C-alpha cells in the first residue's frame, strides 16, 4: 500500500511539473521565447546528482534557458525514468540531457525523442552502443568521466595499500549498467598486475547505502579475514564502513569508494575510509546544458566530452573542491 501511494504521489508531481512547463510555454508568458532544457537524473537522493543539478542550473542561468530537472526516487527505477522522459517529449521540451538508469533500457526513449526532433545528450552513464545502433537511435553527445580509468586508479591504490598482497572484496553497481560495469572492469584489470591480491567476494549492492551495509556485513561473516574493499560508489562504501564499525574493525580494512561525495571525504579525513575517485558532477551538469544550448543554436558539438577524474585521499580530502571551471 505504501509503495502504491508513493508511486501515485510521484506521478502527480510529474504531472504538475508538466502542467507548469506547458503553462510557461504559452504566448502570454514573457519568457516563452526561452528554450527549455530538461535534465533527467537517475535520482535526487544522491549528492552526486544534486551536484550535477547545481552545475546545470548555473549553466542554464548563464545561457538564458529554462531548466527542468526530474528524477525517479531510486536509481534502479528504469521504468519511472522512461515515463518521465516520455512526458517531457509530450511537453515538447527543446533538448534532453539524461543520466540513464539503464544503458540498454533507455534506448526506446531516445528513439522517441529522435522522432520528435528533440536532441538528446547523455551524461555520466553511456548508452549501450549496439542496442542504440540496432534501434536506429542517435545521441548528440556523451558527457562524462572515464569510469574504466577510475576503476583502474582505485585498483592500483588499493593494491599498493595492501602491499601488493591480501584479500579484497567488491561491492558492485547494478549489473548490466555501463557505469558500474566499467569501474569493475578497470579495477579488475589493475589487480591483474597483482596476482597475490585475491578477490574473495564480488556482489552487487545496487548503488544503495543500506544494501552496502547489509551485503558487506554478510561478507564480513563469510570472510572475516578480508583486508580491503572497493565499492563502485561512495554510497555503498559508506554503508560498508558502518558495517565495519559495527564489527569493531574500523581502520583495519582498506576502503576505496567512487564519486568523492562530501560525507565520503569526511570519512577519509576521519580515517574511516581510505580513498575515493572524484568525477566532478558539477562540471558534467554545466557542460551538458552548455552543449544543449549550442545544439539549439545550430552549432556542432563534440560527440564525446571527457570530464577529469582524481584520486582523493587523506592528503587532499580537506582541500578538494568540486568546481565547474
Q: Name the phi and psi angles at 98, rounded to 5.
A: -130, 135
Domain coordinates of the chain in residue numbers? 8-24+35-144+280-306, 147-278
Per CATH, 8-24+35-144+280-306 and 147-278 having the same topology is answered: yes
Q: How far apart are CA 52 and CA 44, in angstroms?
A: 10
pLDDT of residue 320: 61
Residue 323: per-residue pLDDT: 40
Architecture of domain 147-278: 3-Layer(aba) Sandwich (3.40)
Measured in whole angstroms, the distance separating CA 123 from the mean position of its chain's CA atoms is: 9
* Fold annotation for 8-24+35-144+280-306: Rossmann fold (3.40.50)
How is 32-93 classified by DSSP, letter by letter?
Answer: TTS-EEEEEEEESSSHHHHHHHHHHHHHHHHHT-EEEEEEESSTT-HHHHHHHHHHHHHTT-
Per-residue pLDDT of the chain (325 residues), as tens digits, is 444 444 444 444 445 445 444 444 433 343 457 999 999 999 998 999 999 999 999 999 999 999 999 999 988 899 999 999 999 999 999 999 999 999 999 999 999 999 999 999 999 999 999 999 999 999 999 999 999 999 999 999 999 999 999 999 999 998 888 899 999 999 999 999 999 999 999 999 999 999 999 999 999 999 999 999 999 999 999 999 999 999 999 999 999 999 999 999 999 999 999 999 999 999 999 999 999 999 999 999 999 999 999 999 999 987 765 443 3
Residue count of the chain, please give it. Answer: 325
* DSSP letter for each residue of 150-180: HHHHHHHHHHHHTTT-EEEEEEE-STT-HHH
Neighbours of 263 (CB within 10 A): 14
Separation CA 122–CA 124 (nearest Å): 7
Would you call 228 helix, strand, or coil by DSSP?
Answer: strand
Amino acid at each position: 500500500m505504501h509503495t502504491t501511494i508513493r508511486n501515485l504521489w510521484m506521478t502527480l508531481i510529474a504531472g504538475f511539473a508538466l502542467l507548469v512547463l506547458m503553462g510557461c510555454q504559452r504566448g502570454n508568458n514573457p519568457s516563452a521565447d526561452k528554450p527549455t532544457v530538461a535534465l533527467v537524473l537517475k535520482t535526487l537522493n544522491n549528492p552526486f546528482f544534486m551536484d550535477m543539478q547545481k552545475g546545470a542550473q548555473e549553466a542554464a542561468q548563464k545561457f538564458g534557458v529554462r531548466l527542468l530537472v526530474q528524477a525517479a526516487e531510486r536509481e534502479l527505477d528504469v521504468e519511472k525514468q522512461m515515463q518521465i522522459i516520455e512526458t517531457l517529449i509530450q511537453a515538447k521540451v527543446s533538448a534532453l540531457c539524461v543520466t540513464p538508469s539503464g544503458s540498454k533500457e533507455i534506448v526506446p526513449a531516445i528513439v522517441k525523442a529522435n522522432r520528435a526532433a528533440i536532441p538528446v545528450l547523455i551524461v555520466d552513464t553511456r548508452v549501450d552502443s549496439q542496442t542504440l545502433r540496432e534501434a536506429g537511435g542517435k545521441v548528440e553527445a556523451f558527457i562524462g568521466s572515464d569510469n574504466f580509468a577510475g576503476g583502474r586508479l582505485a585498483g592500483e591504490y588499493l593494491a599498493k595499500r595492501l602491499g601488493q598482497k591480501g584479500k579484497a572484496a567488491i561491492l558492485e553497481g547494478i549489473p548490466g549498467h555501463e557505469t558500474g560495469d566499467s569501474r569493475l572492469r578497470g579495477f579488475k584489470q589493475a589487480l591483474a598486475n597483482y596476482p597475490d591480491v585475491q578477490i574473495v567476494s564480488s556482489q552487487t549492492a545496487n548503488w544503495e547505502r543500506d544494501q552496502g551495509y547489509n551485503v558487506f556485513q554478510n561478507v564480513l561473516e563469510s570472510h572475516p579475514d578480508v583486508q580491503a574493499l572497493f565499492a563502485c560508489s561512495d554510497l555503498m562504501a559508506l554503508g560498508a564502513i558502518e558495517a565495519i564499525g559495527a564489527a569493531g574493525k574500523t581502520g583495519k580494512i582498506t576502503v576505496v569508494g567512487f564519486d568523492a561525495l562530501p560525507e565520503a571525504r569526511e570519512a577519509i579525513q576521519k580515517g574511516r575510509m581510505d580513498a575515493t575517485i572524484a568525477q566532478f558532477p558539477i562540471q558534467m551538469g554545466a557542460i551538458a546544458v552548455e552543449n544543449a544550448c549550442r545544439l539549439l543554436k545550430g552549432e556542432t558539438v563534440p560527440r564525446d566530452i571527457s570530464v577529469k577524474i582524481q584520486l582523493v585521499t587523506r592528503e587532499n580530502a580537506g582541500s578538494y573542491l568540486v568546481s565547474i571551471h
